[in-house]
Amino acid sequence: MKTQEYWEQKHPEIIQTYSGRPLPTGKPYDMDVRHFVWEDDSEIQQILRECKLIGQSNDETAQNIQKFVVRSILYTPDEAIGRSEYWLFPAETLEMLKGDCEDGAILMASMLLTALPSSDSWRVRVAAGIVQASPTAETGGHAYVTYCRCSDNEWVALDWCYYEDSHISVANKPLIKDVHFYKQTWFSFNHEKAWSNMAFALGGRLK
């Protein structure tokens, strides 16, 4: 079984910024993507308790949180709020109960990191990359959660919108590497680190 050390060293660690949240003046601002993910928020803690999302195992908790985001957050493109690109913080997504792919993914990752033991935080990442519905379809940008399940230490997707599969248990989800519609990953990140095989992925640089 692959270890935490193996997975954390598989891809180069980078410093990743992204201009997904402009200043109030409208000026672009390159923000460290790690700051979008919260691992210890009181509102998230309250929701985890009140909605009874903590399961008997990490993998059960992961599916519970995926189901919560799917049923609670309305997919809404950034254009609906007058922006071509705008990343929300987790509390904003909870307050608005809507957002696009990265908003739900960042919320889901933040809920997972709050729910899981700190020793398992390495199992949670937000991935930003390319998806393609079929070999002849157009490609598009997408963000989703990747989760290293405890049963075999392999990575599965926790997607809440584009390829939502919250009805499938984490143990029975296909591995990301076997799912044809997840293509190239630009970068991935959690609250502590960011990774990429691309030396200059959308504003990233090797650490």
pTM assigned to the model: 0.94
Q: What is the pLDDT of residues 163-198, one digit of tens each?
A: 999 999 999 999 999 998 999 999 999 999 999 987
Residue 24: which domain range?
Answer: 4-206
Here the tokens at position 169 are 């248990």
Q: What is the pLDDT of residue 199?
A: 60
Domain harbouring 53, CATH code: 3.10.620.30
CB count within 10 Å of CB 206 equals: 11
Determine the straight-line distance between the first and last CA of the chain, rounded to whole angstroms: 28
- Is pLDDT at 201 greater than 70 in this prediction? no
Number of domain units in the chain? 1
**Residues paired with 190 in a beta bridge:** none
Residues 6 or more apart whose CB falls under 8 angstroms from that of 144 comprise 101, 105, 126, 127, 157, 158, 159, 160, 162, 163, 182
Question: What's the pLDDT band for 79 if we cut at 50, 70, 90?
Answer: confident
Mean of pLDDT values over 109-135: 94
Cα–Cα dist 60/55, whole Å = 5
Q: Contact 178/78 with Cβ under 8 angstroms?
A: no
